[in-house]
Amino acid sequence: MFQVFEKCDRAIMAIMSLVVIITNLAVTGFILFLVLARFVLGWSVVGVLEMATFSAIWLYMCGAVIAARNKEHLVVDFLSQSIRSDRMRALHALAVSVIMMVLSLFFLSLAQDMVAWSIKRPQTTAALGLPLILPQSAIVLAAVLCSVYALRDLVKAVMVVFARPQAPSVGS
């Protein structure tokens, strides 16, 4: 069963990595074009800033998912590195996992409220008339995936804390 989760994780990370590369190039390209168009050519191009902003939101949210997956999002390792006891380290990991799960559920709740508002009162961008649900979908995706990874970490931490200690084998 864990193999299925690992395959899903690898697929999600492959997609996230691709989106990060594409959106990073898009943000860079749009901003470079904006600067060159305004200051070199004297043009004012409508909609380019909106596209850069949409790309940036997708970039940031995919980056947040990757960081959450790698347990690098909210890390203060001073305390965890100073703990010497395996049991205390496991309890610390459990506490961090519980905090991350609560924060992820709060993030998910905010994303749900945002979508409900967007459905109730749909809005579009000023220049291109693009629906704001496009960048908001990145926030929803990040909230869902961050919650999934927080749940994964919580389950792992609970398994470590409540695992029975192994008896030493006869030959060791």
**Could you report the per-residue pLDDT of 41-58, keeping only the tens digit for each?**
999 899 999 999 999 999
Task: Report residue 171's pLDDT band, with 50, 70 and 90 as the boundaries.
Answer: low
Only one residue has tokens 């961050």, namely: 146
The reported pLDDT for the residue numbered 71 is: 87
Query: How far is it between the farthest Cα atoms of the chain?
Result: 81
Question: For all residues of the chain together, what is the average pLDDT?
Answer: 91
The reported pLDDT for the residue numbered 134 is: 94
The reported pLDDT for the residue numbered 166 is: 64
- The enclosing H or E element of 7 equals helix 2-35
> Does the pLDDT value for residue 7 go beyond 80?
yes
How far is the C-alpha of 101 from the C-alpha of 111, rounded, in Å?
15
The contacts of residue 96 (CB under 8 Å, 6+ apart) are 80, 153, 157
Q: List helix spans (H) across 70-132.
A: 77-82, 86-120
Domain ranges in the chain are 2-161
The reported pLDDT for the residue numbered 54 is: 97
Regarding pTM above 0.85, the answer is yes
Percent of the chain at pLDDT > 70 equals 94
